[in-house]
Structures are given as structure tokens and as C-alpha cells.
Amino acid sequence: MRGIEIVKVGYDYAGAAGVVTALREVSFDVGASEFLCLVGRSGCGKTTLLNLVAGFLPPTRGEIRIGGETVKGHGLDRGVVFQDFAQLFPWRRSATWSSASRCAASAPPSGRRPHAAS
């Protein structure tokens, strides 16, 4: 099964002082069920890349595919837990966050728990 394919992706922000190139020619694959951590200094583009994979931003250059399909916007097949405290409830456990996407996709409770545990 194909996972996530990031192909020569770039992203430019239109900043007040001009164009800010946040990402330039980023390419890598993530296999199905593979666990990946993005590590880098502040401002290197981690959040920008996550927003592109989530479909919240369109790539300026390149292409992102999930399961062979080009990402053209957000969808219930993806979930994002933002780093902002206002959106990351400290009382909620990781399994509950994971099952929340199945809840949003209207999966019955019996179908959520195995997904959250895997």
C-alpha cells in the first residue's frame, strides 16, 4: 500500500516584506503505517510541510500524493493536532485524539478503538 509521497515540494509565503521561501525542493516518501518525526530548527518549515500534507495550503511547487492520489485540499483521511495549547487539550489522551478522526468520519464507536490503538 502506498503511503505519502512528497515530490519536489516548495512553498512561498507572500510576506509583507516580500516572498518568504519556506520550503524548497523537499522530496521524501513515508510508507503506510510508518512513524516519522520531522526534526529541525525553528523556522525550517516543519509546520508549513504539515499544513501542505493536511491540505490546508496548496504547494507553490511540486506535488503531494497520499495513497497515489494528489492532495487537493483537506480531508477526513488526515488529522492534525496543532502545537498551540488552545487546540491541544492536555486532558485528552493520544488514543482519544486518534479516534477523534474516526468520529468525524462517522465511524461507529466499535470501529474507532482498533484504529486508535494501531
Q: Which residues bind to ligand ATP, rule: CB under 6 A? A: 13, 15, 20, 22, 40, 42-48
* 117's grid cell: 490503538
Min dist. Cβ of residue 53 to ligand ATP (A)? 12
CB atoms within 10 A of CB 106: 8
CA-to-CA distance for 98 and 43, rounded, in angstroms? Answer: 27
SS3 content of the chain, % helix, strand, coil (to 5): 25, 30, 45
CB 55 within 8 A of CB 73: yes
Min dist. Cβ of residue 59 to ligand ATP (A)? 13
Which residues of the shown chain bind Mg ion in the complex (CB under 5 A)? 46-47
22 binding partner (options Mg ion, ligand ATP, none; Cβ < 5 to 8 Å by kind): ligand ATP
43 binding partner (options Mg ion, ligand ATP, none; Cβ < 5 to 8 Å by kind): ligand ATP
Min dist. Cβ of residue 4 to ligand ATP (A)? 17
- DSSP for 69-90 reads EEP-S--TT-----SSTTTS-T
45 binding partner (options Mg ion, ligand ATP, none; Cβ < 5 to 8 Å by kind): ligand ATP
